[in-house]
Amino acid sequence: MGVSDPLAELNRLQERDLELDQIREDQSRIPEELAQARLHLRQLEIHLGDLQEQLREVRMAYHKADLELQDLKSKREKAKAAQAQATGAKEQTQYGEQIRQLSGLIEDLEGNNKDIVGQIMPLLEQIEKLEEQLIQVKAQVDEARPRLEALETANQQRVDALEADYQSKKADRDQLAATIPPAIVKEYESIRRARKGTGLARMTKASSGYRCTACNVQLPMHVAQQVHQASKVVRCPSCGRILWKGE
């Protein structure tokens, strides 16, 4: 190999690649505050949807009860009119019984001022309560939405700034890569992809011999010698990374 050690250059390239990886990781990391705000709004929207659904059901129940009430009242009016027209005592009694039954059903719906609450009043109260809750939750949504939008915008600006940094560092990195023999760069890049990070590992001397600093395996002496000679690219027999003797 020439005057300069291409693996030393490759090591510098790797440092830049790791820095670029870090930028990509920073870009994809969602700030905690933003994650919380997204969750908060989603939960409010779910709550809002639930309340709207409940309100729809209670209103339907109310309208049904109200229609039934109008129907019973009109039947009672007819029975009363028929009773007034009736001549026989038996007929009078029959209409009387019918009116009594209808009055009971009417009371079940609209209650009386004594012991029966009826169905309609509690439904109206529920409607009122749900409408109040709905107003409150809508106000919370109206407050949470612009806050989330501001956080989304700030995050996008953060990501864009990192992207500009990335592109500028990537250009420098590519310039450096161009000074290293292409075959070595290609081999390094393919190992780096497979190993999700590093393609070059330093060899280090330990008391028992030489080790690969990436996978920590002890290297056979002939491998260590080849790495020292640096006359060709030598890979770690265990992790497959290109071994470098260091500076």
Residues forming contacts to Zn ion in the complex (CB under 5 A) are 212, 214-215, 236, 238-239
DSSP letter string over 110-125?
H--SSS---SHHHHHH
Question: Quick one: 166 or 210, whose CB is closer to Zn ion?
Answer: 210
CA distances from 7 to 10, 30, 45, 90, 191 (A): 5, 36, 56, 116, 14
Phi-psi region at 218: left, alpha or beta (left = phi > 0; alpha = psi -120 to 50):
beta
Nearer to Zn ion, 166 or 244 (CB): 244
Q: How far is the CB of 205 from Zn ion (least distance, A)?
A: 15
Query: Distance (Å, rounded) from C-alpha 100 to C-alpha 91?
Result: 14
Kindly list the distances between the CA atom of residue 208 and the CA atoms of 30, 76, 205, 217, 240, in Å, as whole numbers in the listed order. Answer: 45, 106, 8, 11, 21
CB of 245 to Zn ion, least distance (A): 14
Q: What share of the chain is helix, strand, coil (3-state, %, to 5)?
A: 70, 5, 20
Smaller CB separation from Zn ion, 29 or 228? 228
130 or 223: CB nearest Zn ion: 223
Do the beta carbons of residue 212 and residue 203 sit within 8 Å?
A: yes
Residue number, 39 or 217, with CB nearest to Zn ion: 217
When the beta carbons of 129 and 193 are compared against Zn ion, the nearer one is 193
- Find the shortest distance in angstroms from Cβ 180 to Zn ion: 21
Rounded least distance, CB 238 to Zn ion, Å: 5
Alpha carbons 28 and 196: distance in angstroms, whole number = 16
Instruction: Check: CB of residue 106 under 8 Å from CB of residue 73.
Output: yes
State the nearest-atom distance from the C-beta of 237 to Zn ion, in Å.
8
Q: What is the CA radius of gyration of the chain?
A: 41
In the complex, least distance from residue 216 CB atom to Zn ion, rounded to whole angstroms? 7
